Amino acid sequence: MKTAIVNLGTIVTGDWRRPTVPGDGILMADGRIAAVGTVPASDVAACDVVIDAGGAVAIPGLIDSQVHITFGDYTPRQKTVGFLDSYVHGGVTTSISASEVHVPGRPKDPEGVKALAVAAFKCFEHYRPGGMRVHGGSIILEPGVTEADLAEIAAKGVWLAKAGFGAVKTPFDYAPMIQAAKRHRMITTVHTGGSSIPGSSGIWADHLLAMQPDVSFHVNGGPVAMPDGDYARVLHESTMALQLCTAGNLRTTLMLTDMVRAAEQFDRLLIATDTPTGSGIMPLGMLYTISHLASLTKCPVEWAIAAATGNNAKIYRLNSGFLRAGCDADVVVIDACVGGSKNDALSALTNGDMVAVGAVVTDGVPRFVGRSRNTPASIKTVRVAECRLPRDFSGAAH
């Protein structure tokens, strides 16, 4: 399938070092981006679908790097069906499992946690709710899990490992398991801050520095933050990625963003939601956190978008998150909302406003074009200009 987006006002790349690219078009073919910037008219004419962006802004599909999935498009924590499909209407095109800890009656023995991770990985390998790519299957590190266990599931495709919910005596006990998982090229993630479920332990700087995971999950608190003094230690005494979550502490979100920029370590800053949890379901959570960084700190809005896209892609070794040739064709078109004080999406986010999601494309396939069911309407008209397929991409209205 060939898809083109034309008449774009701005193209935000997802790379904070080179945040925009000149031109007004994006060409996609066979699930990959073929060209960004100037797209010849002959290539547009050969497309199956042509989306006219009406002068709106294109950004990479948002990557939510902490989603508490279970199986299917269902969350037992909030007893809600279809939440992942709803996140697509918030511009999220990729979700990464924070471990299947919310599966009712989840197993806690080594064989059980291995089986759960493999099953979740396999279930989401080809299942794309609403068009979203879901990376399921993160093993929950429990006492008794050995390096041989990790090698076994890594050979079956599991590439995520999560520490923080296991029945360890102390968080320091996670350190050898984290290092073993790393030896098998697994991305290791760790709960950070106060305890979020009964029986788990709070995890602070001393623990993180002993473990040295790839990612400190919800470092701003999930929902309870570390002491302020721990942030400088984690920032300056490690290289781990520092993930900010919508369902966390806003004050520490802003504080850490400024610290990371001052330390010239922005590649390490990631945005996620840490949902669904007790904080609820947040289809627009990624966009809200982008607007918080852009409006309440000195972080440029394009950088905030990169923290939700390209930075996540780099840390998690994904072929998405950037608008560049060869990357996965996941593109979101955004604009200022009708009735707001700003006339374009980037100005709206910098003003602290929500933006309208006018179109979402994943794997080169339009999932909806015109209006998200979760945002107000856009000022500019985003529409399907040409469609040579027997299909309607308008999506569902409110």
Which of 229, 262, 283 terminates a domain? The answer is 283
How many domains does the chain fold into?
2
Cα–Cα distance, 199 to 202 (Å, whole number): 10
pLDDT of residue 304: 98
46 shares its domain with 68: no
Task: Give pTM, 2 decimals.
Answer: 0.96
Q: Is residue 311 part of a domain?
A: no
Q: What is the CATH number of the domain that holds 38?
A: 2.30.40.10
206 shares its domain with 238: yes
Q: Which of 148, 136, 80, 78 is nearest to 111 (CA)?
A: 148
Q: Is residue 28 part of a domain?
A: yes
247 shares its domain with 108: yes
Q: Is residue 166 part of a domain?
A: yes
State the sign of the Cα–Cα–Cα–Cα dihedral 74, 80, 85, 86.
negative
143 shares its domain with 278: yes
Q: Which residues pair with 57 in a beta bridge?
A: 10, 334
229 shares its domain with 129: yes
Q: Is residue 346 part of a domain?
A: yes
Domain membership of residue 370 as a residue range? 2-60+320-387
118 shares its domain with 134: yes
Which of 238, 261, 283 terminates a domain? The answer is 283
Q: What is the CATH number of the domain that holds 238?
A: 3.20.20.140
Cα–Cα distance, 271 to 282 (Å, whole number): 13
Q: Is residue 68 part of a domain?
A: yes
- Helix, strand and coil content of the chain, in percent to the nearest 5, comes to 30, 25, 45
pLDDT of residue 398: 47
266 shares its domain with 129: yes
Which of 283, 311, 331 terminates a domain? The answer is 283
* Structural contact between residues 15 and 305, judged by C-beta atoms closer than 8 angstroms: no
pLDDT of residue 200: 59
State the sign of the Cα–Cα–Cα–Cα dihedral 226, 232, 234, 235.
positive
Q: Is residue 208 part of a domain?
A: yes
Q: Is residue 303 part of a domain?
A: no
133 shares its domain with 210: yes
pLDDT of residue 345: 98
CB atoms under 10 Å from CB of 236, counted, come to 10
Give one word for 54, left, alpha or beta, with left for phi > 0 and alpha for psi -120 to 50. left
135 shares its domain with 225: yes
Q: Is residue 52 part of a domain?
A: yes
pLDDT tens for the 398 residues of the chain, in order: 999 999 999 999 999 999 999 999 999 999 999 999 999 999 999 999 999 999 999 999 999 999 999 999 999 999 999 999 999 999 999 999 999 999 999 999 999 999 999 999 999 999 999 999 999 999 999 999 999 999 999 999 999 999 998 889 999 999 999 999 999 999 999 999 987 555 556 899 999 999 999 999 999 998 899 999 999 999 999 999 999 999 999 999 999 999 999 999 999 999 999 999 988 999 999 999 999 999 999 999 999 999 999 999 999 999 999 999 999 999 999 999 999 999 999 999 999 999 999 999 999 999 999 989 999 999 999 999 999 998 777 765 44
34 shares its domain with 70: no
245 shares its domain with 188: yes
Q: Which of 217, 173, 171 is nearest to 315 (CA)?
A: 217
28 shares its domain with 77: no
